[in-house]
Structure formats: C-alpha cells, structure tokens
Amino acid sequence: MGKPLRLLVTCVPASIVLIALFVYATRSRFTGEVTRIDNNQDQRKVDEHDVQEGVALETNSIALEGSLMVPSHSGKDDLRSNSTWNPCTFDICFNLEKCPFTHPFATYVYDDLLTSSSNENPFSPQLLVDVLKETGSYTSDPTKACVFFSILWNRESERENVGHLEKKIHSLAQWGAYGENHVLVELSTDQSPGRSMLEGVSTGKAIIARSVISPAKLFSTGFDILLPPLRTAEADSMDLLSPLLPVSRETFIHFHGEHCPHQHPGPGAITPEHIRSLQQLLKGKERVDIQLQCQQPATGKTKGAKEGQWMLCGDQKSRLELCSKSMFSLVPSPGGPNAGTGVGIYTRLIESLMCGSIPVVVGVGVLPFDEVIDWSRAGLIVPSGRYSDILHILRSVSSGDIQNFRLKGRHLWYTYFSSPLRVVQIAVAIVRSRTLHPPPPAPHFLGKQLLYSCPPPQADYLSFLHQ
Amino acid sequence: MGKRLKPLKLLVICVPASIVLSALIVYATRSRFTCEVTGIDNNLDLDEHDVQEGKDDLRSNSTWNPCTFDICFNLEKCPLTRPFATYVYNDLLTSSSNENPFSPQLLVDVLKETGSYTSDPTKACVFFSILWNREREIENVGHLETQIHSLAQWGEYGENHILVELSTDQSPGRSMLEGVSTGKAIIARSVISPAKPFSTGFDILLPPLRTAEADSMDLLSPLLPVSRDTFIHFHGEHSPHQHPGSGAITPQDIRSLQQLLKGKERVDIQLQCQQPATGKTKRAVEGQWMLCGDQKSRLELCSKSMFSLVPSPGGANAGTGVGIYTRLIESLMCGSIPVVVGVGVLPFDEVIDWSRAGLIVPSGRYSDILYILRSVSSGDIQNFRLKGRHLWYTYFSSPLRVVQIAVAIVRSRTLHPPPPAPHFVGKQLLYFPAPHHKQITSPSFTNSFTAYSWSFWNDIPGPLFSYPSSPFNPGLHFSRLNEVAISHSASQSAKGRAAIESTFKKNFLVNVPPEQFTVVIITYKRNKELMEGLAHLKGIPSLNKVVIVWNNEDDPSADLKWPDIGIPIVVVRGKGNSLNNKFLPYKEIETEAVLQLDDDVLMAPEEIEFGFRVWCENRERMVGFFGRSHIYNFKDKRWNYGKTNCMFSMSLTGCTFIHKTYMYLYSYLMPKEVRARVDHIMDCEDIAMNFLAAHLSRKPPMKVCTNSDFHCAGCKANISKKKYFFHERSVCIQFLTRIYGYQPLLYTQSRTDPETTEIPFSE
C-alpha cells in the first residue's frame, strides 16, 4: 500500500514541476507575451507620438502586447564575412532592434568632430544637436538611441591624417564590431579636395553620408546618402534668389568652367570639345554665355582635384549673378564609372536652383538625395549619349515647363538645400523613413493661458447646439 | 673693348636662352592653365564621340558589370530625329506550346499600333527577343546561349537587345538565363537569383503572367466596403531550407503572428495547402512560399480579407520566385492590401511607387507588424485600393500590357517622348469655312521631353501615351483672360481699347494666350432641329469651330440650308451609328475645351460664353447647365438615377464643357466593356462620361445657372422620352459602379452665377 502512495507522492509534484517548466520555457514562443510596462510615463509618450487617428484607443494595448520575434537572422554567420554585406542594403546592414516603435526615433550625436574644427568651417555638432532636440529626435543616452551620427569635415589639411581616421572611427563609443546603425557624415565645401576622406578606410556597416564619390569608395545606392556640398555654417539668404519670372532671359544657355584634363576620359565624359561644339552650333541662333577659362582663379583647383572635373569660376555671388541672366545652365559630367565625382557638379546644380536657371544635367549618375527627390521635375536630366540632341531638347521646353521647373527648383532648394543644418536634418529624416518611424508631429504652440472663463463643451456639445 | 664685349656676349647668350626657356615653360604649363584643345570643324557629329571615347574600357568585362544605362546602351541607334523604333525577333528563343500561346506576333501588332515597330532591323533602336521560362526547357540551357549569341543583330555584346523572359506561376523558381552570358543586353524577367544578379536601373523586373489573354475585369472585387470579414490572410506552403538567408520569414514567424492576433482579429492563415501547392516542382527554390490552389480560388479567398501577407523567402536577392509577385498582383486585384515584408525588388519598381499601393515593410520590422496594420486608417485603405486597382489596370492586366510597359520603360531611358495618343480621323462629309473668323488654336504637346516624372508613371492617365494637353497640369497659371473680354470694356474706340489692354497686361502680368472652344454636336435624322440649334450659335466670341458628328447612315442631302454663323462648320462621320462617337477625339478639334451639345438644345450666347469662362477656371471638371443625380435606394440596395432639387452629381452632356483629353480617355483608357454597353442599349454615354470625369478628377461637376430648361417642349419625341428611361439609366449606374469597383460620383450643392457688377478699369 505504501508503494503506489509513494509513487503518487513523488510523481505528481514532479510532473507538475515538469509541466510548469515546460510552459515557462515555451511561453514566450507561442503566446508572445511580454511583461507589462508599469511606467505610465512611457505610455503617455507613446500616445503623444502617435499621429494616426485611427489607432488612438489601441495604442496602450499594443504597447503591452509586445512584439513578435524578429525574423531569424540565422544568416548572422554570413554577416561576419565581408562579402555578404558588400554592398550594404538596409535589410542586411541595419539593426532595427534598437529602433522599436514604442520609443520615438532617437538619434545620438558624438560630441567631437572626427576631424579637427577650424575657423573656416564653424559647423559644429552642437548646432545639429539643438535642431534635433527641437524635433524631439535627440537623446543624450546612447543606449536609447537608434542611430548614431558622427561628423567629419572633408578638408585639404586633413588628408595627412587618414591613417588616424580609421582608428578614430573604430574607437567610437558605440561602434561595436561593425558600426551598425552609425551614420558617418562627411561634409564638403566647394573648397574641398575631389577625394573622399574615407577612401581606404574600413567603415563596416555604417551609412556614409557624403558629397564626393569615387571608385575607391563605392556608393551603395539605397544605403549611402549623397549630400550636397555646403558653403558655410549659415543658411543661404533668400536675397540670393532670383525672381521666377519673366520666363525669357537674356542668354539661352550658360556655362563657366575650367576643365582639368585627363588622359583617359571615362565613358560619358563631357570634354571642352563638346562644349565648344555646342557653342558653335548655337552661334547666331541663340545668345550663349560659355567660358572655358576662368577669369578669376578657378575654385577647387587644389592638388587633390580629380582629372576630368569641371572646376567652378569665381565665388558664389558672382556665379549666381551670371546664371540669373540665363535660361539654362549646363551641368556636365566628368565621366567615369562613378560619374558625378567632385563637388563642382553639385554646387553648379544647387546654384542653378537658386538663380532659377534650369539645370541641364548631362551624364551624371547620382544626384544629391536622389533616393527621395525627383530631380526630373527640377531640371533636365539627360544621359550622356543624348548630348548630341541637346539643342532639340532645349528648344522643346515650353514656358509652362520652365515655370514648373523654376517653382519646383525653388521649393527643393528651400526645403533641402538652404542651410547645412537643413541638409543634415534631411539625412536624419531619410534614415528615419527607412526605419518606418513617422515624421515628428509639427509642434503646436502652447501659449500662456491668461483667462479661462468657462469649461470647454464636453460630449454633449451636439445637444448643446440643438437646444 | 674686351670689357664692353663681355656684357654684349652675356646679352647675346642670355636673351635667346631665356626666350627659349620661357617658351618651354609656357608650353609645358599651357594645358594646366589654359586647358585649350584644338578646334573642331564638324559641329554635330563630333558630339557623338563622348560614348566612343571610353570604348577601350568597355571591352573588358569588368567595367560593364554591373551594367548601367550610360555604359551598356548605345544611343547612336536612337536619334531623337527618328521615332523610337523597336524590332521583334520572329521566333521565340524557346519553343512555343499550347500552354503558353503568347506569340511575338501579338507584341508586334501592339507595337505597330503605337507606331513603335519597324520591320527593318537597321532602323531599330532596341531589339526584343522573347523566351518562355518553362520546366522542360531547363535541359536546353546550353543551346540557349548559342541561340542568343546567334541572333541576327547581336553583334559582339548584344547592345540594345532586350531579352524578355516570361514566367507563369508554373515556372520553375530559377531563371533560364542562369549561367548564360548575356553581354550587354537588358534582361526583363520575373525570377531573380544570386547566380544571375539583377542590375538595378538596367534590368527590368516583370510580373509573372498567367495566360496570353487579359485578365477579365469580372475577377476584380469591389473597393468598398472598407471593412471585410478577415483582418489578414495568408495561404501558403513553405519549401524548407537549411540556411535561411537574412530577413527570411519562416513558418514560425507566421504562426506567432497568428497567435498574437488570436481573439483580437479574425485571421485566415493556413500553412498547408489543401489543394496541391502550385510551383512545387523539383526546381523550387529553397525558402519559397508556394501558392495554394488556382487563381480563382485564391482571389475568392483574399477578397474577404483586408490585408494580405506577402512574405520574403529571405536571402541575398530577396524576391526570388514568382510566388511572391503573383501574391502581390492578386492582392491588387482583390483589393486586399498587400503587406510586403522584406522583399527587395518589386515589379517595375523603377517607375511604380509601390508604397502607395501597399505596405512595404523591411524584414526587421516584422515584429511591429500589428502596430503598423492597426494604424492604417479607412482613408488610407481606400487610397491603397484605388491606387492598387489603377496599377493593376495600367501595368498588369494582360501580358501585352506588361511587355508594352517594358518597351515604355526602355523608351523613357532614351528620352524619347511617349507616342501621341491617336486622334480619330473620321470621314469629312462637309466643310464650311469662315474666312473672316479669327481662330485661336490651343498649343499641343508642349512637354515632349519633360513628360517623364514620378507622377507620369503613377497617376492617371498612365504611361503609354502622351496627350496634347492635360487638364491636371496647371503650371504657374494666372487667370486666363480673353482679349475679347477686355475689348468689351467701357471704351469703344480702338485706341481706348488698346490702351486698356496694355495697362491690364502690364499690371496683371497676363502672359497666357487666350483660348477658344469647339462645339461638338451629334445628330441623327433631325435636320430641322439641327439647323435651328446651329443658328443659335451665332455671336459667341470664344467659339472656334463647330464639329457635327453625323450618325445618319445617309450623307447629308444637298438641299439642306446650313446657316451662316461666321464660324467654320465641319460635318464628320464617326464609327457607325454609335453614341460613343460623341466622345471620339476628332482631329478637327483644335482647342482644349469642347462643348458637347445636343442638336435640340437652344441656349443664349451669353450663357454659353459665361459657361466657357467658368470652365477655364475649372479645367479638370465637367462644367454644364443641367444637373442630374444618383440616389441610393435602401430598400433594393442599389443606385438609382434621378433628378433632385437640392443637389446633383452629374452634368448632362447635352450641354457641357469638357477637356479634350477626357475624350481621349473615354475612347482609349476607359474599359471597353463600358463602350460596349453604351452601344448595346443606345444610351448612358453621358453617365459613363460623368463617371470617368469624377473618377479621374475626384471632383463633382460644376453647374452654371441658366434660364433655359433642357427639354424642348415642341420638339419631336427623342431618345430621352422612351418608356423605361429612368429604369434603364439606373441599371447603367449600377453596371458602372460594378466596373469601377466603387461609386465615384460626388454630390455638390453649389451653382455658379456670373458677376454682374461692372468695375471700371482705372488707368
């Protein structure tokens, strides 16, 4: 009689314990439960950031429900070898686990520039921090951040320290093994050399936002971000813009630039020969303003200037004055597999948006922010093989088209390119859009309430109306 | 004297030496500082060298891999002075069969219609060669390469060639072109694999096809109501793989979603096909999600669900296999919003903005999928469904359309404008010129090389044609004022009028040319009323021309007394005796504005002129004088046709201004089922036009106030007095609602009155 009782006494609790263990182990797998969030403040923050009206009541319950398992990155072993994530795409090289929807999109900016600051380029990370704080995207706690921004200046004087640069980058506090979720922002001005500072530097899985692309440091389309070149830390004044009307202007097409000759022009290069032949073609038919030799010293003619580049003439003020008298501005490609190297091209492009002269971009592969901007509405984007028909194309642009181009060009300049801060804000916005976080809500104004006489009508407002 | 000689000697030696030295220096640095190059004699042709110069680079394989358009396409064969011409190789690269009756000849016919076809290969810009991706062809891959390389115009690298690989959902999961060297050809296909990577921006991703015929519009589900039985839906069977790539959605992931939604929403998830899974061939790629059943059953299932999951099989080239794209296209057909998780490349995504037709989510966000789905509002759902249906109709509704779009994409890369929408050339029966009439025709095709944009591909009317003008593209428009309006002002002397005009133009920057409108009257055996109606059109300042569409089988008799109204009159024949002739885009119409008039309508000239001016300010709407309405009958649960007192939603085309582009769209873009129904019952063409205008512009028509009534009291009986008139038109409305998938008509209560106070201009 003792035996079955003993069995019972041992087996039942044992099986209960076993079952409990089993349930505990598989709990998170099948029910997807996550411990409740006790902190009410987090809940409220989530509510504030919810822009969609349809989900208001559901938000709390969703936050508590927790999330599903992230699709197994069991391919993680693949990721260690360099070849599988080169070129990087967002799915492979970005870790979304740091960016859950229950937290607002938070960025962290490293305080120090990767390259030394100087008086010439007073753009400091602190300016960026202030702007991000306004939109509520900034956090000073790196463990809560989704994306980490590190800024460096592309300057001639920094070229010698490239070896240091890699070490500095890899020793950033949150770099980890591969620099996931990092954005290296390389700012260039039109004085910058034609090469990227990051050539030869191993940047792991970081997104590189820069203005200069070269074959030595390939541009990952859809992952890297192409920035326009900057001038100073201040916003360009709206006084520099030209009026959108009248449609007709003195000269038909305009181009001032000096060519840096190269031995082996890549496919699609526009050489001085081509521009001269265009000049000949238009002689007597239209007024052109083409100069292939700078009267003032050519900008960017440093020893780092790349072969085949078209260098700018004079300073921004004189260039804007010149192009505001012309209907079209030629923006030619230097050719080569990564057509679009060098800041000269993009400076030309942005300045033509400012002066209302429609850019005719010939053979340039990548344009600033072109993953989000539809450049074909702001100018004529022409493959280099079509250069021979350029006159035909230009002549067919109607007044309505010109008005549309100018309107859209001004809008693009104002929204995307009017100040360095705006440029970096847009880079942040692009990364945020990839994580599917909604854009931050426009801040309403909280004025100081001086008088509050009667309480606002409650739910029976309608009945109040019908009295 | 020797002392004097020394400086002289120095001089003699030094000066030439320095000259030589300086010359050398100048020569050496010349190219650095002046960048001069020898002049050019031949202007135009030399410009074409910019592609040639890099040719030495192009011979080695590595520089053109991956291919981009600038490197791998030869634009010399495609000058803008010639139309964009395509050549189609007659034979399929793989053998034809009964299963897939799509033949190149169908494509040739379609291209001929748009004027893009040439049978002379030397004149062609691109060369199309078609092959079928079929299970039993896989064994012949070795042959395939030799066949491709021996195409007549292949040359060395197959420049300007497009290999179109068509797949169905029965096709194996691998591309036939794996391992085949395709040189510089553009590959248009549905299946991508790491062995044959996809060159973004160069290759074209096609959707999979089912048969050679167009999918019928009967298969489509209505767009409304917004809510449906199930929340999310997924039927599929997984082909397991050892090493799932990054971002793969496995059955575990889907099961956890099912668990999460249990008790909260209704889901329809099945991870095992009841009927045999489609695509389960021995070549199915690992990790793929196979489809269940046939298209009909799948559409029926997904039409009951609000969302459809389209998961990625993972891996480097996420998106392999036709299962994914079939799921995507079918969700567009049934109105169930596709939730695409982790798929890298989508069909035609170089031009289509898929984020407006569905939710495109990176695989890392799968964990938050419920949050995202719950936040989609009803407005979003309606927009997704509308856009999804538009995309299906424009891009995916038939294999021919798919290949036409591929042609259009290549054409857009060469910057050739899309072919002009064909106007209708009817047989001219009579023509009465008016030599003293000042004609102002509207400019046409003003944006030939600026046509391509995101909106061109994604919004109506779609990317196949360019239209002479568009009601949706205002530009920097100022108020369009007729010069005639100014001339009717206070001062009567010519000098005074000129002074007022110039002041007005100076102060208001009016730089938009004035315009006129064309009257189109359709007539059938009612000559007396027609002549009276024509006589009433005398004295309208902005009238350009009168086009009379003669539906009568007999030609107009010689003893008809045509009135002289000082405006040109053209009598033209349409296609038989059809009410659709009213909306054919006649070549004779040279203005943007068209006034559709019935032959028995008598309106005062001031009213018509005022109506035209209202139209100028509202170009995308129908501007008419007589309103009708649609009413929902709750008892029978359907729409009826009627006339209400307080609001209206349609404008009778017995007297309405519309933009000429709507006539093109009615005749070519609108589903042909509608035109067939109009012919069948000899009625409802005006309702069809109202539906079209409301659907495209999402605006109600405008009503201009008038003192006239529509029906002429003393006239002979006309069509509108038939017995079951209202009933038949109600049936029309129901039919059109089913075709469009929703009821596009919008109500309005407002009406336009002319501003009658005279404001004198001050100098």
**Domain containing A243 — which CATH number?**
3.40.50.2000
Residue A437 lies in a domain: no
* Window from A180-189, A208-217, B639-648, B676-685 with minimum mean pLDDT: A208-217
Q: Say whether pLDDT at B718 is over 70.
A: no
**Residue A210 sits in the same domain as residue A260:** no
The confidence score (pLDDT) of residue B762 equals 38
Task: Select from B45, B315, B368 the Cβ nearest to the Cβ of A100.
Answer: B368
Between A316-323 and A343-355, two packed helices, what is the crossing angle to 10 degrees? 50
**Residue A260 sits in the same domain as residue A406:** yes
Q: Between chain A and chain B, how many beta carbons pairs sit less than 8 Å apart?
A: 254
List Cβ neighbours of B598 (8 Å cut-off, separation of 6 or more): B521, B522, B533, B654, B655
**Residue A26 sits in the same domain as residue A150:** no
When divided into structural domains, chain A yields a total of: 3
* Window from A338-342, A397-401, B316-320 with minimum mean pLDDT: B316-320
The minimum CA-CA distance between B79 and chain A, rounded to whole Å, is: 8
Q: Determine the average pLDDT of the residues in B163-176.
A: 74
Q: Determine the average pLDDT of the residues in A116-142.
A: 70
Q: Does A301 touch chain B (CB under 8 A)?
A: no
Q: Does A395 touch chain B (CB under 8 A)?
A: no
Q: Say whether pLDDT at B580 is over 90.
A: yes
φ/ψ region of B179 (left if φ > 0, alpha if ψ in -120 to 50, else beta) reads: left
Chain A residue with minimum CA distance to B470: A400
Residues of B with CB below 8 A from A363's CB? Answer: 50, 70
Q: Does B246 touch chain A (CB under 8 A)?
A: yes
Q: Determine the average pLDDT of the residues in A154-179.
A: 77
Q: In the structure, what pLDDT confidence band is assigned to residue A305 with cuts at 50, 70 and 90?
A: low
The confidence score (pLDDT) of residue B98 equals 52
d(CA B609, CA B215): 45
- Which of A197, A226, A255 represents a domain boundary (last residue)? A226
The confidence score (pLDDT) of residue A75 equals 37
The minimum CA-CA distance between B614 and chain A, rounded to whole Å, is: 21
Residue A20 lies in a domain: yes
Tell which wins on pLDDT, B474 or A280.
A280
The confidence score (pLDDT) of residue B359 equals 94
* Window from A215-219, B41-45, B321-325, B570-574 with minimum mean pLDDT: B41-45
Q: Say whether pLDDT at B49 is over 50.
A: no
d(CA B752, CA B21): 86
- Which of A191, A226, A261 represents a domain boundary (last residue)? A226
Task: Select from B47, B371, B415 the Cβ nearest to the Cβ of A277.
Answer: B47
**Residue A92 sits in the same domain as residue A186:** yes
Residue B87 C-alpha from the chain's centroid:
23
Q: In the structure, what pLDDT confidence band is assigned to residue A359 with cuts at 50, 70 and 90?
A: very high
Q: Does A397 touch chain B (CB under 8 A)?
A: yes
Q: In the structure, what pLDDT confidence band is assigned to residue A104 with cuts at 50, 70 and 90?
A: confident
The confidence score (pLDDT) of residue B180 equals 81
Residue A69 lies in a domain: no
Q: Does A411 touch chain B (CB under 8 A)?
A: no
Q: Does B355 touch chain A (CB under 8 A)?
A: no
Probe site for chain B from A223, A358, A389, A431 (most B CB atoms < 10 A):
A389
**Residue A199 sits in the same domain as residue A271:** no
Note whether B450 contacts A380, CB cutoff 8 Å. yes
Q: Does A33 touch chain B (CB under 8 A)?
A: no
Chain B residues 476-515 within an 8 A CB cutoff of chain A: 476, 509, 511
The confidence score (pLDDT) of residue B316 equals 53
* Average pLDDT along chain A: 74
The confidence score (pLDDT) of residue B272 equals 85
The confidence score (pLDDT) of residue A40 equals 36
Residue A454 lies in a domain: no
Q: Say whether pLDDT at A461 is over 70.
A: no
The confidence score (pLDDT) of residue B657 equals 96
Place of tokens 């609790």: A13
The minimum CA-CA distance between A156 and chain B, rounded to whole Å, is: 20
Chain B residue with minimum CA distance to A406: B476
Chain B residues 91-150 within an 8 A CB cutoff of chain A: none
Probe site for chain A from B33, B35, B73, B241 (most A CB atoms < 10 A):
B35
DSSP codes of every residue in B94-111: S---SS----HHHHHHHH
Q: Say whether pLDDT at B354 is over 50.
A: yes
* Window from A194-198, B371-375, B544-548 with minimum mean pLDDT: A194-198
**Strand positions, DSSP E, A323-398:** 326-332, 358-362, 380-382
Q: In the structure, what pLDDT confidence band is assigned to residue B77 with cuts at 50, 70 and 90?
A: confident
Residue A315 lies in a domain: yes
Residues of A with CB below 8 A from B450's CB? Answer: 376, 380, 397, 401, 404-405
What Cα–Cα distance (Å) separates residue B409 from each residue in A12, B204, B386?
A: 72, 8, 23
d(CA B552, CA A101): 68
DSSP codes of every residue in B427-492: PEEEEE--TT----PPP----STT--SHHHHHSTT-SS-B-S--TT---S------HHHHHTSS--
Probe site for chain B from A388, A403, A408 (most B CB atoms < 10 A):
A388
Q: Say whether pLDDT at B567 is over 80.
A: yes
The confidence score (pLDDT) of residue B568 equals 94
Q: Determine the average pLDDT of the residues in B104-114.
A: 71
Q: Say whether pLDDT at A331 is over 80.
A: yes
Task: Select from A62, A74, A400 the Cβ nearest to the Cβ of B446.
Answer: A400
d(CA A389, CA B181): 33
Residues of A with CB below 8 A from B249's CB? Answer: 71
Q: In what order do the strands lie in the sheet with B186-189?
A: B86-88, B126-132, B161-166, B186-189, B204-205
Record the tokens describing residue A283, joined without a space: 């002689």
The confidence score (pLDDT) of residue A292 equals 87
Tell which wins on pLDDT, B356 or A40.
B356
Evaluate whether A357 touches A289 at the Cβ level (below 8 Å): no
Q: Does B29 touch chain A (CB under 8 A)?
A: no
Tell which wins on pLDDT, B659 or B144.
B659
Note whether B362 contacts A271, CB cutoff 8 Å. no
**Residue A222 sits in the same domain as residue A262:** no
Note whether A403 contacts B475, CB cutoff 8 Å. yes
Residue A371 lies in a domain: yes
State the number of CA atoms in the 13 A half-sphere of B392 facing the CB.
Answer: 32
Q: Determine the average pLDDT of the residues in A180-207.
A: 80
Q: What is the pLDDT of residues A415-425, one digit of tens each?
A: 999 887 788 88
**Residue A245 sits in the same domain as residue A320:** yes
Evaluate whether B265 touches B231 at the Cβ level (below 8 Å): yes
Chain B residues 75-94 within an 8 A CB cutoff of chain A: 75-76, 79-81
Q: Does B61 touch chain A (CB under 8 A)?
A: no
Task: Select from A72, A265, A389 the Cβ nearest to the Cβ of B250.
Answer: A72
In terms of average pLDDT, the best of A9-18, A223-232, B490-499, B710-719 is A223-232
Q: In what order do the strands lie in the sheet with A147-153?
A: A107-109, A147-153, A182-187, A207-210, A225-226
The predicted model scores a pTM of: 0.80
Q: What is the pLDDT of residues B214-248, one digit of tens each?
A: 778 888 899 988 999 999 999 988 877 766 666 77
DSSP A375: G
Chain A residue with minimum CA distance to B311: A71
d(CA B386, CA B694): 13
Chain A residues 84-103 within an 8 A CB cutoff of chain B: 84, 89-92, 94-97, 100-101
* Average pLDDT along chain B: 79
The confidence score (pLDDT) of residue B381 equals 94
The confidence score (pLDDT) of residue B469 equals 86
**Residue A315 sits in the same domain as residue A411:** yes
DSSP B392: I
Place of tokens 């592969």: A365
The confidence score (pLDDT) of residue B114 equals 65
Chain B residues 576-635 within an 8 A CB cutoff of chain A: none
Tell me what ipTM this predicted complex has: 0.78
Tell which wins on pLDDT, B724 or B220.
B220
What range defines the domain where residue A15 resides?
A: 9-61
Q: Say whether pLDDT at B386 is over 70.
A: yes
What Cα–Cα distance (Å) separates residue B665 from each residue in A465, B451, B658, B668?
A: 47, 17, 12, 5
Q: Say whether pLDDT at B307 is over 60.
A: yes
Q: In the structure, what pLDDT confidence band is assigned to residue B652 with cuts at 50, 70 and 90?
A: very high
The confidence score (pLDDT) of residue B733 equals 94
Which percentage of chain B shows pLDDT scores above 90? 30
Probe site for chain B from A396, A407, A435 (most B CB atoms < 10 A):
A396
Residue A148 lies in a domain: yes
- Which of A418, A434, A449 represents a domain boundary (last residue)? A418
Please give the positions of B annotated as active site. 686
Residue A458 lies in a domain: no
The confidence score (pLDDT) of residue B585 equals 95
Q: Determine the average pLDDT of the residues in B324-344.
A: 90
Note whether A277 contacts B260, CB cutoff 8 Å. no
Q: Determine the average pLDDT of the residues in B704-723.
A: 56
Q: Does A199 touch chain B (CB under 8 A)?
A: no
**Residue A208 sits in the same domain as residue A257:** no
The confidence score (pLDDT) of residue B661 equals 94
Q: In the structure, what pLDDT confidence band is assigned to residue A119 with cuts at 50, 70 and 90?
A: low
Chain B residue with minimum CA distance to A392: B80
Q: What is the pLDDT of residues B505-535, one digit of tens each?
A: 554 444 556 789 999 999 998 899 999 999 9
Chain A residues 140-169 within an 8 A CB cutoff of chain B: none
Probe site for chain A from B198, B449, B469 (most A CB atoms < 10 A):
B449
In terms of average pLDDT, the best of A60-69, A99-108, B204-213, B278-287 is A99-108
Which percentage of chain A shows pLDDT scores above 90? 13
**Residue A373 sits in the same domain as residue A313:** yes
DSSP B119: S
d(CA B373, CA B385): 15
**Residue A283 sits in the same domain as residue A210:** no
The confidence score (pLDDT) of residue A257 equals 87
Note whether B43 contacts A281, CB cutoff 8 Å. yes
Q: Say whether pLDDT at B727 is over 90.
A: no
Q: In the structure, what pLDDT confidence band is assigned to residue B503 with cuts at 50, 70 and 90?
A: low
The confidence score (pLDDT) of residue B389 equals 93
**Residue A278 sits in the same domain as residue A370:** yes
